[in-house]
Amino acid sequence: MTDFGLDAISRLILQIYDAGSDDEQWPAVLEALRQQWHAAGAALYFVDRKRQPVDRLFSANLPLELVKEYQDHFHRLDVRMERSIPARIDRTLTDHDLVDEALITRHPFYQDYLKRADLRYALGNLVTIDADCIGLCVWNFGWRQPLPDAAGLAAAKLLRGHLQRALQWRRQLRQAGASERVTLDLLDRLAQALILLDQQGQVVWLNSKAAALLRQADGLKISERELHAGTPGETAALHRLIRNAAQVARAPRTSAGGALSITRPSLKRAYRLLVAPLPGAARLSAGVPLPKLPAVGLFITDPAASPVPRPQLLRQLYGLTQAEARLAAALAGGVALKDYAEQSALSLHYVRWLLKQIEAKTDTRRMADLIRLLIGHAALFGENGDGG
């Protein structure tokens, strides 16, 4: 009988959070999950809402050729993905929630792909990572294996929230260009506000963007090294999320960290906060004097702010000319081509030619794709990027 007790699940949760900052640990995590559920294999996929792969794929006990075939072709035929996206994400699913036996016996995804590897059923945790990325952690079971019982399903659901938080943290670090050894210097350059807190929920470090945001005194403040919202109710909810994230090492919880909106006296749009356990704290503080090791990371998004990427940063990243970089920054800030031409005393024909040069250098084919790329840089290295 499989042990889904407190100690076993606690160990898995800690492994998941450690892998959030170290991609090399995901195969070992998946192998531990596979063994715990007695599955034939396990995998971690990253796709967008059109089911296209957007990141690395990790697996355990699955043939490499099978993984490659999925990435190259069979993800397009994955009927389970097709029926679960764009339906409501953030749930625990099995094949029986999405398809019936009649379809399994004739669908090419099962017959041409899974059956060759003696795989049939799957149990999966489907989670939203951000607006552009969905994560799916899957246990694969053999053609003659039953799906997990009620205890196995309940344990998988318990892991889902922790998996989501770890993957969101991983995504934040990867978008920042971080590697296994994330440095505070890099985090200070983020255009998104970041606060690090210790096991007691006290602030041990904040980046420049967070310091500027707190100086506004518009719904968030630090008092005696504790973070406070504008109302007692929101402060209590915030402290609860921080406490759960900080204590995740002590026992598994259905919610470790999470998301929260903080209202503002200015009546501007509410801050959006993401609270997550902070793995690899010793690496974060290496060489930097901190009063205590950070245990929790808190990202703050201000929907009212509209950072734009610095032209100098775009020149460094894509080899743009000065004229191209100025236009790209203006487009990211919402300026229309015609308006930019008028404001810059340039012909519209020349501005359109500049746009074509920018698209070629950034490997984008449409203005919408270019602006999405530029906004991504703005969200990370906008106001705090290299000057220019």
User: Domain with 92 in it: what CATH number?
Assistant: 3.30.450.80
The yes-or-no verdict on residue 375 having pLDDT over 90 is no
Per-residue pLDDT reduced to its tens digit, 176-217: 554 434 456 656 666 678 898 888 888 988 888 888 899 999
Given a contact cutoff of 8 angstroms between Cβ atoms, the answer to whether 175 and 182 are in contact is no
The answer to the question of residue 1 being in a domain is no
The yes-or-no verdict on residue 171 having pLDDT over 50 is yes
Q: What type of residue sits at position 242?
A: I
Same domain flag for 21 and 149: yes
Same domain flag for 17 and 153: yes
Calculate what percentage of the chain has a pLDDT beyond 90. 22
Last residue of a domain, one of 140, 175, 210: 175
User: If we measure between CA atoms, which residue out of 89, 91, 163, 103 comes closest to residue 132?
Assistant: 89
With H, G, I as helix, E, B as strand and everything else as coil, classify residue 128: strand
Q: What is the pLDDT of residue 386?
A: 38
Q: What is the pLDDT of residue 311?
A: 82
Same domain flag for 291 and 318: no
Given a contact cutoff of 8 angstroms between Cβ atoms, the answer to whether 209 and 265 are in contact is no
Tokens 């995504």 map to which residue? 171
Alpha helices by DSSP H, listed for the chain, are 6-19, 26-36, 64-72, 79-84, 101-104, 108, 150-175, 184-188, 208-215, 232-246, 281-284, 311-318, 322-332, 337-344, 348-362, 367-381
The answer to the question of residue 218 being in a domain is yes
pLDDT class of 86 with cuts at 50, 70, 90: low
Same domain flag for 234 and 357: no
Give 3-state DSSP helix, strand, coil % of the chain, rounded to 5.
Answer: 45, 20, 35
Q: What is the pLDDT of residue 307?
A: 62
User: If we measure between CA atoms, which residue out of 364, 386, 387, 360 comes closest to residue 374?
Assistant: 364
Last residue of a domain, one of 158, 175, 192: 175
Q: Which residue has the higher pLDDT, 264 or 56?
A: 264
Q: Which residue has the higher pLDDT, 186 or 53?
A: 53
Domain count, the chain: 3
Please give the biggest Cα pair distance in the chain: 76
Angle at 64 between CA 60 and CA 66, to 5 degrees: 100
Question: Phi/psi at 75 (nearest 5 deg)?
Answer: -60, -25
CATH classification at residue 376: 1.10.10.10
Same domain flag for 136 and 255: no
Q: What is the pLDDT of residue 207?
A: 86
Q: Could you list the residue range(s) of the whole structural domain that residue 215 is in?
A: 184-301
Q: What is the pLDDT of residue 385?
A: 38
Q: How far apart are the first and last CA of the chain?
A: 63
CB atoms within 10 A of CB 343: 10
Last residue of a domain, one of 175, 194, 211: 175
The answer to the question of residue 306 being in a domain is no
The answer to the question of residue 350 being in a domain is yes
pLDDT class of 68 with cuts at 50, 70, 90: confident
Q: Please state which of the ranges 21-35, 232-246, 292-306, 369-383 shows the lowest mean pLDDT.
A: 369-383
How far apart are the C-alpha atoms of 121 and 147, rounded to whole Å?
A: 7
Tell me the mean pLDDT in the region 113-124.
88
Given a contact cutoff of 8 angstroms between Cβ atoms, the answer to whether 284 and 354 are in contact is no
Same domain flag for 164 and 213: no
